[in-house]
Amino acid sequence: MSTKDFSYDNTNIPSGEDAVVAIVVAEWNAEITNALLNGAVSTLKKNKVAEEDILIYRVPGTFELTHAAKQILKYNFADAVIVLGVVIQGETRHFDFICQGVTQGITQLNIEYDEPVIFGVLTTNNMEQARDRAGGRLGNKGSEAAIAALKMIDFNLDISEDE
């Protein structure tokens, strides 16, 4: 199966004009998370999200992304929240616990709140795989998360217009 089989429509991206997007980025593995952040910000700007409407928050690690996203949602000032982090497999089960906790936490936030939380967390076996997904040969998953955010903001607008 080719990587194209796993792609989505990135040609029909809604405008982000008037949207406020919060991005929470983990400091741990900054080489990767900063590349993801750059991809997300670039894509949001390219799709008409004003620079002042891209709110960037940093947290120590991937596990803290859920808490930060919840605080942003609780104060209701963003149309979407993108969380960006990376967890790289090591020799202990720490990888499993962090990945499971963050995945469940973000899922729970998507159930509890109306604004979407976009999962931009890489879970890789090694640093090379992370680099490949943070602007390397497999693209930039931060950019893909930004596209998902714009599509979900548009989805929410469509749903609210149907009421």
Question: Any idea of the CA torsion for 55, 7, 156, 149, to the nearest 10 degrees?
Answer: 0
Secondary structure letter of residue 100 according to DSSP: H
Query: Which positions are annotated as active-site residues?
Result: 94
Q: Is the dihedral of CA 64, 66, 69, 71 positive or negative?
A: negative
Q: Does residue 22 sit in helix, strand or coil?
A: strand
Residue 20, C-beta contacts closer than 8 angstroms, at least 6 positions apart: 53, 55, 77, 78, 79
